[in-house]
Amino acid sequence: MMSARPVSFPGFSIACGPDDPPASAAARVTKASGSNLNAVGRFLPGPKRRLFEACYAGMRVVDDFVDDGFLALPEDDRAVRRDAAHAAVTGWVDRSRAALGGGDWRAVAGREDDPLLAAGMTPLYDALAQAAALGGPGALAWDRLGQAMHRDIDEEPIRDWADFDAYCEGATVAPAAVFLFVLTARADADRLESALDEAALFDAARPMALFCYLVHILRDLAKDAERGGQLVTLPADRLVAHGLTRDGLAAAVRDGQTGARTLAREIADRAAPLRAETGRVRVELAPHLGPRARAILGALTGVYERLHDRLQAGDPALDPESARDLKAAVFAEQGLDRWRIDEGEGA
């Protein structure tokens, strides 16, 4: 039991209970995210799905903690809570590394007032330890995501596209590399092993992750800008180039100002070559993927390609019903419906 009262982060919560069974807790958090990764990850079989959900849930929680628990706070409150937020992310990395490596994550030293543990993180660490016991990725992705989260907490500016790419190495490439590990993993002596090492997984994930993230930013630009300029992860020099400011971006997007439209065009144009590179990587990965994994990867990238097409054409953000229809059409094209969700073993 923690003897110190956790520092309050009122906008943050975890979509599972502290006493939930580990695998169920990871599944609940993953489902609650409503993400495209969850939409395709549901079609993974057996141990692969459990590993994906265990990895994704913990990564999602720490990202939500930083965005909703810390960055969404007023400026004065962020200053007061900054050290506690850094300590929480450090504790998350250390405990996750222990769980991945088969150690006792509960033995990892950390602050007694850890807000993640107070919010109910315990079953998610257990889920990661249980899933990784049958094989899992290395810890590099957790280290790099942690670095990106520390950068967010420090509100370190993203000055240009080079800074943006460096930030994305942890914020989006790292989780994508873990997903590719799950897709490429094959059962070997009852363990999941990928023929690709960490460096190869990151190289394969990079264009896909950057493409999807740029489309995601473009899709949610108005929503994220309304929540606060500190949540907009776009290069400062690009805002200036389009006559925009971080604090004024929400109004510019809402009012359809010229600068907001030209910024959106630049984001869509920057995504285009990454989209082409993603297609090339999918071809290169094909020998490492079974038919189900190929369909899952095709469905994931296909959703973002459709979104990219619509956003390039100037279509507004999709309403929930239209988004569901778009996903259903892409999933049908990739043949995902040939596999039942929660089906047994197989790639």
Are residues 137 and 32 part of one domain? yes
Q: Quick check: is 11 in a domain?
A: no
Q: If pLDDT is split at 50, 70 and 90, which confidence band does 187 have? A: confident
- Residue 189 gets the label, from left (phi > 0), alpha (psi -120 to 50) or beta, of left
Residue 113 burial (CB count, 10 A): 16
Are residues 162 and 309 part of one domain? yes
Are residues 170 and 77 part of one domain? no
pLDDT of residue 346: 38
Are residues 162 and 117 part of one domain? no
Q: What digits encode the pLDDT tens for the residues 193-233?
A: 999 999 999 999 999 999 999 999 998 888 878 876 667 88
Give me the half-sphere count of Cα atoms (radius 13 Å) on the Cβ side of residue 152: 30
pLDDT of residue 216: 92
Are residues 142 and 41 part of one domain? yes
User: Which burial class, exposed, middle or buried, applies to 283 when counting CB atoms under 10 A from its CB (0-12, 13-18, 19+)?
Assistant: exposed
Are residues 137 and 25 part of one domain? yes
Are residues 213 and 81 part of one domain? no
Q: Which domain holds residue 71?
A: 20-155
Q: What digits encode the pLDDT tens for the residues 86-126?
A: 999 999 999 999 999 999 999 998 887 899 999 999 999 99
Q: Quick check: is 237 in a domain?
A: yes
Residue 285 has pLDDT above 90, yes or no: yes
Q: If pLDDT is split at 50, 70 and 90, which confidence band does 344 have? A: very low
Q: Strands, DSSP E only, in the chain?
A: 186-188, 191-193
Residue 188 has pLDDT above 60, yes or no: yes
* Whether the Cβ atoms of residue 236 and residue 157 lie closer than 8 Å to each other: yes
Residue 347 has pLDDT above 80, yes or no: no
Are residues 271 and 166 part of one domain? yes
Domain boundary residue, one of 108, 136, 155: 155
Q: If pLDDT is split at 50, 70 and 90, which confidence band does 246 have? A: confident
pLDDT of residue 226: 81
Are residues 282 and 161 part of one domain? yes
* Encoded tokens for 46: 């057996």
Are residues 321 and 175 part of one domain? yes
The length of the chain, given as a count of residues: 347
pTM across the whole model: 0.93
Are residues 121 and 174 part of one domain? no
Domain boundary residue, one of 155, 182, 200: 155
Q: Quick check: is 2 in a domain?
A: no
β-sheet bridge partners, residue 191: 188
Are residues 239 and 93 part of one domain? no
SS3 of residue 110 by DSSP: coil
pLDDT of residue 342: 54
pLDDT of residue 317: 66
Q: What digits encode the pLDDT tens for the residues 298-321?
A: 999 999 999 999 988 877 667 778
Shortest CA distance to 190 belongs to which of 54, 27, 26, 345? Answer: 345
β-sheet bridge partners, residue 186: 193
Q: How many domains does the chain have?
A: 2
Q: What is the CATH number of the domain that holds 185?
A: 1.10.600.10
Domain boundary residue, one of 104, 124, 155: 155
